[in-house]
A and B are shown apart, each in its own frame.
Chain A
Amino acid sequence: MNVTDIEAGAAAFVDQLRHLPIVRELGAEIDEQLRRCPTQLNEYDYDRWGLHPGVVARAAIVTGLWYRYWFRAETHGIEQLPTGRMLLIANHAGQVALDAAMIGAGMLLEADPPRIIRGMGEYWLPTVPFINIAMVRTGSVVGTRKNCVDLLEADECVIAFPEGVRGMNKLFSERYQLQRFGLGFMRLALETRTPVVPVAVVGSEEQAPAIANLKPLARVLQMPAFPITPTWPLLGPLGLIPLPVKYRIYFGEPMTFDGYHNDGDEIIGEKVEQVKDRIRSMIEIGLAERRQRGAISGIFL
């Protein structure tokens, strides 16, 4: 055992978890789903962008436990997903990007065939020790245009949150109000003739309700935001644990767009607005469904 190999240590820890009965079952399911997953691996089981199914399996055990037992996530409309390349476009919320992890778990556990979602990471992520390895091995890459085009042309499933941190770090009072969408995803979809799949996540907004956002402190700490929630930073690290809300994930029908990817912002913006409207209406459906179960209990059950 190489003591300096912390990544291998973390992997061994997750492998130990597999002896627990509930993890064993989930692990077997994930292994089976990964076998059916269309990935192109080289002789050492890495894909062109550094994805490794062994690491994906371990990460999926962790996110799968959150997905099944903490958030008790349910998906709707996942059977309408196209095969081959697709661009998942979702709303972003909840202060930490657990919505991406839950969509990822859903795509691996519930989709047929199962898919590994490819995330587009921030430019500074490759400079963070360990995080950069976890990010690359589980299928994400730095969010450059070239990486995205290459992935789509290799028929991968790319996920993007056009609201970015504007959506993720908004206050609780602005919950489920879609923020301004970036236009880049639509240009990429047009250029690579990729179907856009609108995704609405309901539940993420309540996992960490932000009362305030200390922007000056965030600037000092070089973070995108510094949210204050009822539990953070009051309870310290424990305050980072999200509330056990129920996640409802809605996948819309794939939307195909025609047009020139270098058109002006107004033309691209109209197309983006169609996607945004679709996500908004799915959020409304989700919220209505939830209200039927009770104003407060619907959030958790």
Chain B
Amino acid sequence: MGSKPLIPGPEALFHFWPFPRGGDGPPVPDVAPDPDGSSNPGDQERPGTPVSDIHYDVAAPADGARTTAAEDAPARMATPGARERLLITGIAGGQGRLIARRLSDVFDVVGVDRVPWEGHPRHLRMHELDLRKRKFEDIFRTERPKAVVHLAFLRHFGADPELRHEVNVLGTKHLLEYCAAYGVERLVVLSSSYVYGALPENPYYMTEDSALNISRTYPEVRDLAEVDTLCSTFLWRYPQIRTSILRPVNTLGYYVHSAVGRYLNLDYVPTIQGFDPMAQFIHEEDVAEAVALAVETGLHGVFNVTGPGAVPIKVAIRESGGIPVAVPEPLARLVLGVLFQLGLYPFPLGALDFVKYSCTIDGSRFRDTTGFTPLFTLRDIFASVRR
């Protein structure tokens, strides 16, 4: 990667990276980092990387939703004409590609992104456009998707804060309007566990009913909470549309452009002296599986999505091959504040709270409703980002 962050950002911010950086920031590749440059993650399996197909077969079918979805898949594949149409926004990002691949056997997938997806699977239709533009409505009018997965969020700080807000909040608002107007039956929005905020008085394992406190200490990402709230309101206003809002924890893996991933990938990883909060992690394939379960089963509600467990942030740093360097907090705030103003450091100071206080969530509602079990252990997850 060209520009590594000096310090973490709540990767909240970077579950996936569907859009290129704004003109003033350094360019960001629109494909996942590829060590040998030979394979395109879009249509080729990388040896040694778990692929979604295997993932799908191995999935221990709990009684209920997951079994049904698995049994339905072959039947739908046999009659392509009968497959439901699924629109995925932000499909060209790392997470979008995994979700598209996971669902393209079951659904007739249509993708929307502001950047192209070179070498996308042939049976998948791509539209390159901006969610804020009028053309986006045309997609709904012509494609008539029955299901929508919304992943198109700008989650970095390279661009103007106003642009970030506009893309995320206005883009979501438009999408919700079109969903209501054009007969969409199922909607899945990938929000984030960061909406709860990292505060000293946080209890461990917050449930979905906890307040969305992120804007209190981290105003730069208040659009995360606004998007989540917009969708929750939509969920109540249109009960006939099966809407689920998923809030996954720190997502790591080979394909996602996750800030927490880039943070952990530094050689010397800065932390705050005297703090080492517990952090939860989940593998990108498990997030894709969670989204797939939500869309296949027509899940309705707000759900935390958790992986195999939590470890202190310093354990995560060491396990992914970095050396934690503890910096006294006043020094960290001073230096990073200046660097952020100069555009040399990608995260605002609010991000520091996520390496200072814990923000852990309770994923039991999603597990109990869908039978979801994360397949990747903590060791697998850290191995997937280790150099």
Contacts and interface: CB of A to CB of B under 8 A. Distances in A.
A235 to B, nearest CB: 28
Given A4-B325, A46-B278, A133-B274, A126 B309 contact: no
B140 interface: no
Nearest to A44: B311
Interface residues of B, number: 33
Interface of A: 2, 4-7, 42-44, 46, 48-50, 123-124, 126-130, 132-133, 136, 141-142, 144-147, 150
A137 to B, nearest CB: 8
B260 to A, nearest CB: 17
B276 A123 contact: no
A155 B283 CA distance: 30
B273 A4 contact: yes
A172 B200 CA distance: 34
A192 B337 CA distance: 46
B182 interface: no
B263 to A, nearest CB: 17
Contacts of A147: 203-204
A45 B144 CA distance: 50
A119 B86 CA distance: 50
Interface of B: 200-207, 272-276, 278, 308-312, 314-315, 319, 323-327, 329, 357-358, 377-379
A144 B210 CA distance: 13
B273 A133 contact: no
Q: Is the interface of A mostly helix, strand, loop or mixed?
A: loop
A124 B358 CA distance: 14
A132 B358 CA distance: 11
B200 A142 contact: yes
B75 to A, nearest CB: 38
Contacts of B377: 43
Q: Which of B204, B206, B309, B312 has the most CB of A within 10 A?
A: B204
A6 B358 CA distance: 20
B275 A48 contact: no
Nearest to B206: A146
Contacts of A43: 309, 377-379
Contacts of B319: 44
Given A5-B326, A50-B312, A133 B276 contact: yes
A133 to B, nearest CB: 5
A150 B319 CA distance: 28
Contacts of B203: 141-142, 144-147, 150
23 contacts: A4-B273, A4-B326, A4-B327, A5-B314, A5-B326, A6-B326, A42-B308, A42-B378, A43-B379, A44-B311, A44-B315, A46-B315, A48-B204, A48-B205, A123-B200, A126-B201, A127-B200, A129-B329, A130-B274, A136-B278, A141-B204, A142-B201, A150-B203
